[in-house]
């Protein structure tokens, strides 16, 4: 069984991501947690003391959110009547990233699936603020679904890596589990420097090969170039349906949010984007 958090602000973009999740895991026993968080624009004294419900006062925002979550649950169940799926609603007075972090630890959640943008998302912005905050704070994998992406079975998964990371500190097991759902092929791409691999990179590559030994995969060593350009170039040869990257300080993911030129590269906002956290404590 897989446990998945589906954040929603009740926008069509959010429902699109929920629909993708239902399709992606249609053959898997799954508990989906439809989650909405709220904070009032102007804090009342009762919110300063915590959610009004905690001190016996009516909490209109909570009631409204619960009603919307129930509607969302009925809508997704009507669209995908799948006995393997259970939808549980959850609302809280909190920021989305903090509530997900607490909830995921308590319920032992495996994955977060969410849209790139919310109700007020601007098309020229790569990821909305909620998505960025969740990506930055989440300690479990996050799968981000572009607003206009039409569901396609993920037969090909593209995994760029600099081979600088310790793969024991990455949830490679989850990536393999996802790949096995659809018998996907994992394309591991490394941008080779003229000097070749360091000893550390060689060791990391060997370890990754060992982790992938029973998985359909292939390594691609591409000439030295900007990573964004390399990803787009290999996408012309390999039509990947999911792009996977590791979240750590030295990866391309850090630059993704601060280099406006990236949004013009196209690929990253066109296919689902899986971010694997890097566990520094393991």
What confidence score (pLDDT) does residue 201 get? 92
The total of structural domains in the chain comes to 2
Question: What does the pLDDT read at residue 261?
Answer: 36
Q: Are residues 17 and 124 in the same domain?
A: yes
Q: Are residues 185 and 124 in the same domain?
A: no
Looking at per-residue confidence, does 7 or 38 come out higher? 7
Q: Is 282 a member of any domain?
A: no
- Is 150 inside a domain boundary? no
Q: Give the residue, 179 or 261, on which the prediction is more confident.
A: 179
Looking at the predicted structure, is the pLDDT value of residue 266 above 90? no
**pLDDT digits over 155-210, tens only?**
999 999 888 889 999 999 999 999 999 999 999 999 888 888 899 999 999 999 99
pTM of the model: 0.85
* Whether pLDDT at 262 is above 60: no
Q: What percentage of the chain has pLDDT greater than the value 70?
A: 79
Q: Are residues 108 and 62 in the same domain?
A: yes
Residues spanned by the domain of 233? 156-272
Predicted pLDDT at 121 = 45
Does pLDDT of 147 surpass 60?
A: yes
Both 62 and 131 in one domain: the answer is yes
20, 125: one domain: yes
Segment 88-142, tens digit of pLDDT: 999 998 999 999 999 999 999 999 999 986 544 444 444 567 777 888 788 999 9
Same domain, 179 and 136: no
Q: Indicate the residue among 112, 145, 178 that finishes a domain.
A: 145
128 and 166 in a common domain: no
Does the residue 40 lie in any domain?
yes
* Domain stop point among 120, 145, 170: 145
Whether residue 93 sits in one domain with residue 179: no
Residue-level pLDDT at 251: 54
For 218-234, write each residue's pLDDT tens digit.
999 888 887 777 888 88
Residue 76 near residue 88, CB atoms below 8 Å: no
Same domain, 125 and 231: no
**Do 74 and 25 share a structural domain?**
yes
| Residues 55 and 83 occupy one common structural domain | yes
Express each pLDDT in 31-80 by its tens digit.
999 999 987 655 555 555 555 555 444 468 888 999 999 999 999 999 99
Domain at 6, CATH number = 3.40.50.620
């Amino acid at each position: 069984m897989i446990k998945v958090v589906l954040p929603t602000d009740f926008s069509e973009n959010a429902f699109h991501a929920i629909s993708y999740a239902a399709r992606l895991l249609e053959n898997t026993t799954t508990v989906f947690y439809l989650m909405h968080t709220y904070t009032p624009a102007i804090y009342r004294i009762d919110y300063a003391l915590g959610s009004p419900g905690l001190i016996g006062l009516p909490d209109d925002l909570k009631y409204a959110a619960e009603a919307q979550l129930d509607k969302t649950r009925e809508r997704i169940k009507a669209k995908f009547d799948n006995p393997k799926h259970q939808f549980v609603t959850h609302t809280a007075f909190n920021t989305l990233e903090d509530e997900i972090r607490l909830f995921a630890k308590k319920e032992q959640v495996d994955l977060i699936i969410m849209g790139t943008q919310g109700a007020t998302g601007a098309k020229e912005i790569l990821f909305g603020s909620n998505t960025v905050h969740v990506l930055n704070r989440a300690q479990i994998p996050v799968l981000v679904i572009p607003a206009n992406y039409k569901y396609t079975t993920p037969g090909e998964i593209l995994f760029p890596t600099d081979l600088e990371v310790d793969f024991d500190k990455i949830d490679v097991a989850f990536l393999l589990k996802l790949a096995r759902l659809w018998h996907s092929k994992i394309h591991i791409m490394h941008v080779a420097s003229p000097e070749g691999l360091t000893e550390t990179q060689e060791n990391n590559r060997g370890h990754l090969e060992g982790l992938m030994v029973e998985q359909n995969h292939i390594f691609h060593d591409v000439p030295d170039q900007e990573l964004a350009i390399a990803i787009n170039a290999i996408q012309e040869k390999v039509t990947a349906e999911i792009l996977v990257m590791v979240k750590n300080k030295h990866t391309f993911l850090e630059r993704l949010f601060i280099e406006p030129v990236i949004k013009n590269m196209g690929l990253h906002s066109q296919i689902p984007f899986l971010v694997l956290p890097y566990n520094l404590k393991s």
